[in-house]
């Protein structure tokens, strides 16, 4: 899950939880607020009534005599005020809910009760407000609060989403840049324009790390350059010394043959070093892939170069390329080496009168080029190992250093070419190159 | 022909001097870049063989120095640091050719001759032997205006043998020349034998006497 989605989800969830909490807590809260307001109002009304009684005299409300009382209701029975004489000694000062019967109808009221004394007479004042009215106002309040909350949650969720998007943009930039790196050497350190220090720090760290990787690669390159120089220089000296000895008229004939043997051995050493250097140079991306290569052209060139070897071995070399294919971003000389090696093997391990066929077809996902021979084949047990370095297979001449196929594989990997081999001992071998769609 | 060999490896320089002297070149040797720089300034060399991997001097700088001389010596780069960029840079800076180490002395001589031919038009591109003519520029072999058809490899082989006539060439030297620096699993001398056989067959109609000697166990020699 992406960070942005997580952040948005988290903020939305936290808001929803908050919202649910509010929904649960709101009714009792509002209820309490409403009750408090009602009570305040009752108290204010009480003060007013008491002031009026004081100004106008109690007689205005309650006549002398027994059973006399004052009562006032409004039309819809939402409120009432009543005063009556009560027995002395009764002291009440409270607010509470109570049921009252008003004109044959039982109504639930919030009632303030208070006893007060005027001229040794105790009176009871009651001011009531119907609870239904209170409830209604609570409901209305609740509705508004709910609507408000929903709107707030939705709005802030969107705002959060937009904000995290803006906030995380530098991270997205960093990720995109990392995705674009094909090889460490192509990485260009750039400054990140962001006020978020964490991202700047992350970017700097990556720059730093890639710098180290690049330095390591450069070292490797230099090392390979130095090694090739160090190894090939003595080989060079030996080779030239032997050539001079061979050309020297004073060299006796029986030594000439020895010298030729030496020359062969030295050649073997040289080609092993060069093969290893080639492999490591390819793996270090010291070759460019900046050419367009047409398969038909390439196959034509390889066949042209190797045709007389096939003739010398009495092997027929056939081409069957029904479609053409252009490789972009390739290295022609490496591809030539790759194909040459495979075709060369197909000729070398063939039998007189045998055949080597190169077939090229458009396949499902790209293009497939196969080299099929009618040679000795490779045992199933050996197939998995034919690309490993220094694995010696049945070289008829015993001169093979077993680096031909590893070179083929390295070049194929370098071009993202899928390489596969099938073989039937005694029948022949097929090497297939699957060129990817670009 | 006055040649300067710029090479820090004494043993290698020794072999080069030995070989080129045999081939009648007059040789000087500089083991360091500074020494080379001085020698270039003082002497008029026709040819400079330049190793790029000098310990004290950037070989490419030396190359530029040599390029600024009025008499324009031919320059051949010899390098074991065969990085592609370096080679391209060397050729861009005006080297006439380059030869990656290790190289065959015969290959070196062939390249030098090619450079001389291109640069100074000194050598004719036609080589004559036993009444036949081999023209390197047109890649034709003729006998009294009759063209003898040879394959590319056969022509290259004959040309190489002719360049180094009266010298034994081993199968390996021939193989390396014919197949260039194509890195192979192994080398197979039989291919050379097959080509030689075909060459002999094709030229038998025109040359009566023995022109190509087989030295048993060693190689072949073209005699004139």
Query: What is the average per-residue pLDDT within A10-29?
Result: 83
pLDDT computed for residue A266 by the predictor: 92
Higher pLDDT, B197 or A437: B197
pLDDT computed for residue A8 by the predictor: 80
What's the CA gap between B140 and B211, in Å, rounded? 19
Q: How far is A275 from chain B (nearest CA, A)?
A: 7
pLDDT computed for residue A295 by the predictor: 93
* Average pLDDT across chain B, whole number: 88
Residue B188 pLDDT exceeds 80: no
pLDDT confidence bin for B184, thresholds 50/70/90: low
Q: How far is A423 from chain B (nearest CA, A)?
A: 20
Question: Which residue is closest to A395 within chain B, CA to CA?
Answer: B186
Question: What is the DSSP secondary structure assignment for residue B43, as one 8-state letter?
Answer: S
Count of CB contacts below 8 A, A vs B? Answer: 131
Determine what percent of chain B is predicted with pLDDT higher than 70: 93
Query: Coil, helix or strand for B175?
Result: helix
pLDDT computed for residue B181 by the predictor: 62
Interface test with B, best of A234, A273, A308 (most B CBs within 10 A): A308
Residue A237 to residue B11, Cβ atoms within 8 A: yes
Report chain A residues whose CB lies below 8 A from the CB of B153.
308
pLDDT confidence bin for A120, thresholds 50/70/90: confident
Interface test with A, best of B183, B213, B214, B218 (most A CBs within 10 A): B183
Question: Which residue is closest to B54 within chain A, CA to CA?
Answer: A229
- What is the Cα gyration radius of chain A? 50
* Spatial contact of B83 and B110, defined as CB atoms under 8 Å apart: no
Nearest CB among B9, B173, B182 relative to A237 is that of: B9
Report chain A residues whose CB lies below 8 A from the CB of B195.
308, 312
- Tens digit of each residue's pLDDT (9 = 90 or more) over B196-215: 999 999 998 888 888 999 99
- Tens digit of each residue's pLDDT (9 = 90 or more) over A50-80: 898 888 888 878 776 666 778 888 777 788 8
pLDDT computed for residue A21 by the predictor: 86
* DSSP-assigned states of every residue in A302-346: HHHHHHHHHHHTT-EEEEEE-S--EEEEE-HHHHHHHHHHHHHHH
Report chain A residues whose CB lies below 8 A from the CB of B9.
233, 236-237
Interchain contact B16–A (C-beta under 8 A): yes
pLDDT confidence bin for A253, thresholds 50/70/90: confident
Alpha-carbon distances of A365 from A297, A332, A358, A415, A418, rounded to whole Å: 21, 22, 19, 15, 11
Query: What is the average per-residue pLDDT within B102-129?
Result: 86
* DSSP-assigned states of every residue in A1-66: --HHHHHHHHHHHHHHHHHHHHHHHHHHHHHHHHHHHHHHHHHHHHHHHHHHHHHH-GGGTS-SST
Query: What is the average per-residue pLDDT within B14-29?
Result: 94
Q: How far is A348 from chain B (nearest CA, A)?
A: 9
Report chain B residues whose CB lies below 8 A from the CB of A244.
15, 18-19, 22, 105
pLDDT computed for residue B107 by the predictor: 93
What's the CA gap between A397 and B185, in Å, rounded? 11
Nearest CB among A247, A253, A404 relative to B185 is that of: A404
What's the CA gap between A113 and A110, in Å, rounded? 10
pLDDT confidence bin for A343, thresholds 50/70/90: very high
pLDDT computed for residue A357 by the predictor: 96
Instruction: Name, in order, each residue with C-beta under 8 angstroms of A13's C-beta and a sequence gap of 6 or more.
Output: none
What's the CA gap between A56 and A59, in Å, rounded? 8
Interchain contact B128–A (C-beta under 8 A): no
pLDDT confidence bin for A391, thresholds 50/70/90: low
Name the B residues in 140-159 with CB < 8 Å from any A CB. Answer: 151, 153
Residue A317 pLDDT exceeds 60: yes
Interchain contact B186–A (C-beta under 8 A): yes
Written in H, E and C, the secondary structure of A360-398 is EEEECCEEEEEEEECCCCCCCCCHHHCCCCCCCCCCCCC
pLDDT computed for residue B12 by the predictor: 94
Q: How far is A316 from chain B (nearest CA, A)?
A: 16
Nearest residue to B31 via CA among B54, B15, B58, B60: B54
Report chain A residues whose CB lies below 8 A from the CB of B217.
256-257, 260
pLDDT computed for residue A400 by the predictor: 59
Burial string for A220-258 (b: 16+ CB within 10 Å, else e) reads: ebeebbeebbebbbebbbbbbbbbbbbbeeeeeeeebee
Interchain contact B82–A (C-beta under 8 A): yes
Query: Which residue intervals of B3-104 are DSSP H helices?
Result: 10-22, 33-42, 59-67, 84-92
> Whole-model pTM?
0.68
What's the CA gap between B49 and B62, in Å, rounded? 11
Report chain B residues whose CB lies below 8 A from the CB of A275.
183
Nearest residue to A393 via CA among A349, A356, A428: A349
What is the CA B93 to chain-centroid distance, rounded?
21
pLDDT confidence bin for B183, thresholds 50/70/90: low
Q: Which helix (H) or strand (E) holds A107?
A: strand A105-118
Of A228-232, A421-425, B85-89, B200-204, the range with the lowest mean pLDDT is: B85-89
Q: How far is A163 from chain B (nearest CA, A)?
A: 49
Interchain contact B206–A (C-beta under 8 A): no
pLDDT computed for residue A434 by the predictor: 93
* Spatial contact of A118 and A53, defined as CB atoms under 8 Å apart: yes
Residue A233 to residue B16, Cβ atoms within 8 A: no
Q: How far is B85 from chain A (nearest CA, A)?
A: 9
Residue A393 pLDDT exceeds 80: no
Determine what percent of chain A is predicted with pLDDT higher than 90: 28
What's the CA gap between A47 and A36, in Å, rounded? 17
Question: Which residue is closest to B164 within chain A, CA to CA?
Answer: A247
**Count of CB atoms within 10 A of residue A189's CB?**
13
* DSSP-assigned states of every residue in B84-147: HHHHHHHHHTT-SEEEESS--HHHHHHHHHHHHHHHH--S-SEEEETTEEEETTTTEEEETTEE
Q: How far is A298 from chain B (nearest CA, A)?
A: 15
pLDDT computed for residue A154 by the predictor: 86
Question: What is the DSSP secondary structure assignment for residue B57, as one 8-state letter?
Answer: S
pLDDT confidence bin for B84, thresholds 50/70/90: low
Report chain B residues whose CB lies below 8 A from the CB of A286.
83-84
Report chain B residues whose CB lies below 8 A from the CB of A403.
185
* Spatial contact of A70 and A84, defined as CB atoms under 8 Å apart: yes
pLDDT computed for residue B187 by the predictor: 67
Q: How far is B23 from chain A (nearest CA, A)?
A: 11
Nearest residue to A153 via CA among A5, A30, A18: A18
Nearest CB among B102, B172, B217 relative to A236 is that of: B102
Structure tokens that stand for A185 in this block:
């050497």
Residue A200 pLDDT exceeds 80: yes
Report chain A residues whose CB lies below 8 A from the CB of B190.
312
Query: Coil, helix or strand for B68?
Result: coil
What's the CA gap between A79 and B96, in Å, rounded? 117
Report chain A residues whose CB lies below 8 A from the CB of B215.
256
* DSSP-assigned states of every residue in A172-241: HHHHHHHHT-SSGGG--------S-HHHHHHHHHHHHHHHHHHHHHHHHHHHHHHHHHHHHHHHHHHHHH
What's the CA gap between A14 and B195, in Å, rounded? 86
Q: How far is B168 from chain A (nearest CA, A)?
A: 7
Question: Which residue is closest to B152 within chain A, CA to CA?
Answer: A305
pLDDT computed for residue B123 by the predictor: 66
- Tens digit of each residue's pLDDT (9 = 90 or more) over A288-308: 888 999 999 999 999 998 998
pLDDT computed for residue B190 by the predictor: 82
Query: What is the average per-residue pLDDT within B189-198?
Result: 88
Interchain contact B56–A (C-beta under 8 A): no
Residue A395 pLDDT exceeds 70: no
């Amino acid at each position: 899950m992406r960070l942005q989605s997580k952040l948005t989800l988290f903020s939305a969830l936290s808001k929803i939880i908050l919202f649910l909490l509010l929904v649960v807590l709101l009714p009792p809260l509002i209820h309490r607020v409403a009750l408090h307001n009602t009570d305040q109002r009752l108290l204010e009304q009480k003060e007013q009534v008491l002031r009026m009684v004081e100004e106008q005299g109690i007689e205005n409300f309650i006549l002398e005599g027994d059973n006399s009382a004052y009562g006032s209701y409004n039309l819809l029975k939402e409120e009432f005020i009543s005063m009556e004489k009560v027995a002395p000694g009764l002291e009440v000062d409270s607010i509470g809910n109570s049921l009252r019967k008003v004109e044959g109808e039982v109504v639930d009221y919030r009632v303030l009760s208070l006893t007060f004394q005027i001229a040794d007479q105790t009176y009871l004042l009651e001011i009531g407000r119907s609870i239904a009215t209170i409830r209604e106002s609570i409901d209305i309040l609740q509705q508004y609060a709910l609507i408000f909350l929903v709107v707030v949650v939705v709005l802030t969720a969107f705002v959060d989403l937009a904000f995290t998007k803006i906030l995380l943009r530098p991270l997205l930039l960093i990720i995109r840049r990392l995705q674009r790196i094909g090889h460490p050497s192509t990485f260009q350190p750039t400054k990140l324009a962001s006020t978020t220090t964490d991202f700047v720090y992350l970017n700097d760290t990556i720059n730093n790390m890639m710098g180290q990787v690049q330095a390591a690669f450069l070292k490797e390159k230099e090392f390979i350059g130095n090694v090739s120089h160090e190894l090939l220089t003595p080989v060079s000296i030996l080779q030239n010394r032997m050539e001079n000895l061979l050309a020297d008229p004073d060299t006796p004939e029986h030594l000439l043959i020895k010298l030729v043997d030496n020359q062969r051995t030295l050649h073997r050493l040289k080609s092993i070093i060069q093969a290893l250097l080639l492999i490591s140079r390819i793996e270090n991306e010291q070759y460019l892939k900046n050419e367009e290569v047409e398969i038909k052209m390439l196959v034509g060139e390889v066949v042209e170069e190797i045709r007389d070897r096939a003739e010398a071995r009495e092997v027929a070399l056939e081409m069957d390329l029904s479609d053409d294919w252009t490789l972009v971003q390739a290295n022609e000389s490496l591809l030539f080496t790759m194909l040459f090696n495979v075709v060369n093997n197909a000729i070398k391990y063939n039998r007189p009168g045998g055949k080597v066929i190169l077939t090229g077809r458009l396949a499902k996902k790209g293009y497939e080029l196969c080299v099929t021979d009618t040679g000795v084949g490779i045992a199933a047990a050996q197939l998995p190992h034919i690309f490993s370095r220094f694995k010696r297979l049945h070289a008829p001449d015993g001169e093979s250093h077993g680096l031909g196929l590893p070179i083929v594989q390295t070049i194929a990997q370098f071009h993202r070419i899928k390489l596969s081999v099938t073989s039937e001992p005694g029948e022949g071998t097929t090497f297939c190159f699957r060129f990817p769609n670009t | 022909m006055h040649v300067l060999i710029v090479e820090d490896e004494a043993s290698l320089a020794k072999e080069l001097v030995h070989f080129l002297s045999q081939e009648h070149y007059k040789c000087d040797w500089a083991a360091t870049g500074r020494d080379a720089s001085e020698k270039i300034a003082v002497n008029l060399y026709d040819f400079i063989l330049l190793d790029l991997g000098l310990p004290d001097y950037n070989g490419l700088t030396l190359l530029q120095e040599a390029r600024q001389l009025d008499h324009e010596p031919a320059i051949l780069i010899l390098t074991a640091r065969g990085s592609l960029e370096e080679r391209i840079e060397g050729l861009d800076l005006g080297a006439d050719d380059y030869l990656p180490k290790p190289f065959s002395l015969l290959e070196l001589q062939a390249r030098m001759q090619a450079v001389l031919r291109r640069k100074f038009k000194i050598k004719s591109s036609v080589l004559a032997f036993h009444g036949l003519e081999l023209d390197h520029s047109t890649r034709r072999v003729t006998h009294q205006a009759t063209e003898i058809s040879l394959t590319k490899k056969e022509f290259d082989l004959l040309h190489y043998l002719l360049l180094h006539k009266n010298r034994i060439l081993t199968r390996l030297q021939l193989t390396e020349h014919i197949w260039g620096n194509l890195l192979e699993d192994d080398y197979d001398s039989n291919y050379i034998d097959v080509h030689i056989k075909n060459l002999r067959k094709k030229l038998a109609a025109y040359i009566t006497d023995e022109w190509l000697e087989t030295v048993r166990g060693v190689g072949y020699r073209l005699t004139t």
